[in-house]
Chain A
Amino acid sequence: MREKLSLLRYVLAGNPVTLLALVMLAVLLGCAVLGPSLVPYDPIATNTSVALQAPSAAHWFGTDQLGRDVFSRVVVAARLDLSIAFAAVLLSMAIGSVLGAAMGYFRGWLDTAASRATDVLMAFPLFVLAMAMVAALGNSVSSVVYATAVINLPFYIRLARAETSIRRDMGYIEAARVGGSGHARILRVFLLPNILPSLVVQASVNLGWAVLNTAGLSFIGLGVRAPTPEWGIMVAEGAQFIVSGRWWIAAFPGAALMLAVFCFNLLGDGLRDIVDPRSRT
């Protein structure tokens, strides 16, 4: 454990950008967990007397057309956006890694069939596929989770398959077979834990996409519905006011979205450096 910490310190010292990403992640998670109890105004309560006010000391990010405080709504929205993204990514990682690892380990017909199915899935424009799925499954938060999980699935399958293919012929797998382990146990105990680090790197980058995908779907009116605070909806609602000079309604949720995606991408790069054995010299 102490060695892991010292490795972390070593990597972060040569990589201050990752430290920045970690700080940003802490802020985002803080908003998601504590947001509703921290914000100064009720994010849903309307008050038309203060509608469309520019940012001020009372309303840091201004107010929207119904007089709701944009700051409160941006902070509270973090919980919903991040929950959808985390749930979707966890789902696709769980299914994709087991399926991909089995494909790489057993090869044969399972691999051939599932690889071609993955290729078909990748051939679709992914966002259009997600739109179609939400439309078919019904306009709810859970269908956004499923749709996002499905479009991310191929990345995990391919990664897990490739990482398993490298390891399936290594000495410790053969040693496990000589030591009396069956196929299921080799996959569970020997292969999956060893491919996990690279999957976690992929997951971190994927979280950014998932946040963007969720916001994108609600921007065009699928999934989460108004008046729920959600970054995509807020950008969509604010877009019509930009022409009249009220930029703050769309700009602040847009900036929050950008920061979240940015943070996960940086974090992914940093994790890759930590996992990469070449950085351990």
Chain B
Amino acid sequence: MSDALLSVRDLSVEFRTRSGIVPALRGVSFEVAPGEMLGIVGESGSGKSVTAYSVLGLLEASARVTGGQAIFGGRDVLRLGQAALNELRGAEMSIVFQNPRTALNPIRPVGAQIADVIARHDPAPPAVIRERVLEALRQMRIAEPERRASAYPFELSGGMCQRIGIAMALACAPRLLIADEPTTGLDVTTQAAVMDLFRDAVRARGVGSILITHDLALASQYCDRIVVMQTGKVVEDAPVSEIFARPRHPYTQRLLRSTPSSVDRIEDLVPEEEPVAPAPPRAPTSGPPVLEVRGLRKSYALSRPGLFWWRRNTERLQAVGGVGLAIQPGEAVGLVGESGCGKSTLSRMICRLIQPDEGEVLLDGEPIHRIAPGRFARMPQRRQIQMVFQDPTESLNPRFSVFDAIADPVKQLMPREGTALLRQRVERAAAQVGLPLALLPRYPHQLSGGQKARVGIARAMAVEPRLLVLDEPTSALDVSVQAVVLKLLTRLRRQEGVAQLFVSHDLNVVRLLCDRILVMHKGQVVESGPAEQVFNNPAHDYTRSLLAAIPRLPMPQEAGTL
């Protein structure tokens, strides 16, 4: 086909690493038509970003293109020298990077950065360039473009920075635009706004574009055609309507079935091999809640207090403003909100990692909020509340083996038990989370993301807590690993009866896992109720906007039950 804007044929790329040559791409082929939006979907390590970078000639030094071609405008861009690529990049094809903050120069006003791109490819008098910069900003619907052009990246929100990034990429009217996970770090509502702008801008100019994402639902909403990649190969290439109605490749099917929004019950998520105990018949518990929180408040000083008393700034940011909640034994409660809503501060106050300004925390009816966090670490009650952290890699000490990591809290919180009992406990916790015993002597860097997540959960479960606080435990994981972890958490609750407070930005995940949902916004709980009710009949406007912003998979016929 000669009418394609970009035609990639048999592209192969390999990386030179310590453990030898590692192939990253193995014969990748696809085409982008003018004005088409192509989605490249895959999990981490599938080679989707490498594909984009090789087309743009941005591969790092250890990577080498070993074969294939990428025809763009009649030329094979893989064979072009850096000088020719410099003419091409920015003018003919450009890229929007994943993290808008690191992609912008922090010490230069954003308008000047866009002007640099225009001046490089299309020299003109400063007044003309300035007008084009403002025009580019206006197209991204940035209010007050004159003022925003002279702002520095740190003065703008993440969503605004990404709009600037898209404006910059489109400034010289390229014919091909590649977006590499452009909304991964953004909140759902911001993501929806940025993606709408991106699609409108691309459509209005008839630009061919590639959206690289791990999120099938997002790709399904914005793209015309989807390429699914797995371990450096294209496994499926089909129009959106077809790929969701009739996924042909088993990997695509598996990917679809591990996306939380595609199923109604946790049991339906793949993988099927992770057994989920049936939900025990639950009598409405009338006993005291395992945890109760009343009128909890926390605010932070906006600027550091000065060295001298008269410079002390009294301006404060209210992170949590009077929140109350109760969790019954064995119950799963979801705490949902966007970044900055105070959900992390709240969960850390419940875990006694930070001290609230006001309010009460009752564990089994006993107040624990007056005990200083440092002293609470050595109290017997410490065991009862355990926490699983957001980033499985960051939450494991790189110098502890898996055994040490799981054993450490047991040693500290149950010091009177002997070594034999310790070993037993660690092995039991590992078995609970499905971690093979052979992995116990390994170190975190020798584990996969999913295994690290299991270690984090085993560490919390080893001391037999009554409440598990989970702070976005799956947000750093691929969807298929996330599905496994979600099933694991459900099984732990049903078998061990541990209550769970699940903190997340993802309503879809929370809906599958939790009995009750609390929605937080600006430090307040704006809505709470049974999961189904909050999800299907939201009462608060904010909950409704949150639900509307979530990308959804186009449902095949049988999914009308949602």
Contacts and interface: CB of A to CB of B under 8 A. Distances in A.
A176 interface: yes
B391 interface: yes
Given A171-B389, A281-B18, A180 B413 contact: yes
Nearest to A279: B18
A194 B398 contact: yes
Contacts of A170: 394-395
B377 A180 contact: yes
Given A280-B18, A281-B17, A178 B386 contact: yes
Contact of A175 (B348, B399, B459, B463): B459
A171 B351 contact: no
A185 B378 CA distance: 12
B377 A175 contact: no
A180 B381 CA distance: 10
Chain A interface size range: 20 to 34
A183 interface: yes
Q: Is the interface of A mostly helix, strand, loop or mixed?
A: helix
B378 A177 contact: no
Contact of B397 (A177, A190, A281): A190
B389 A7 contact: no
B456 to A, nearest CB: 8
B390 interface: yes
A281 B19 CA distance: 9
Contact of B351 (A6, A178, A180): A178
A6 B18 contact: yes
Contacts of A172: 394-397
Contact of B353 (A178, A181, A182): A178
A179 interface: yes
Interface in A163-206: 170-172, 174-183, 185, 190, 193-194
B28 to A, nearest CB: 21
Given A10-B18, A281-B18, A281-B62, A174 B387 contact: yes
B457 to A, nearest CB: 11
Interface in B373-403: 373-374, 377-378, 382-383, 385-387, 389-391, 394-399
Contacts of A179: 386, 408-409, 412-413, 459, 463
A171 B395 contact: yes
A180 B412 contact: yes
B533 to A, nearest CB: 32
A180 B389 contact: no
Interface in B445-500: 456, 459-460, 463
Contacts of B389: 171, 174-175
Given A175-B459, A180-B378, A7 B412 contact: no
B24 to A, nearest CB: 12
A123 B389 CA distance: 43
A56 interface: no
B307 interface: yes
Given A183-B374, A281-B62, A178 B394 contact: no
Contacts of B17: 281
A171 B353 CA distance: 12
A178 B387 CA distance: 7
Contacts of A280: 18
B390 A112 contact: no
A170 B389 CA distance: 10
Contacts of B397: 172, 176, 190, 194
B409 A182 contact: no
B374 A181 contact: no
A180 B377 CA distance: 4
Nearest to B374: A183
A171 B374 contact: no
B399 A193 contact: yes
Interface of A: 6-7, 10, 112, 170-172, 174-183, 185, 190, 193-194, 280-281
Closest 6 A/B residue pairs (Cβ): A171-B395, A179-B409, A180-B412, A171-B389, A180-B413, A171-B394
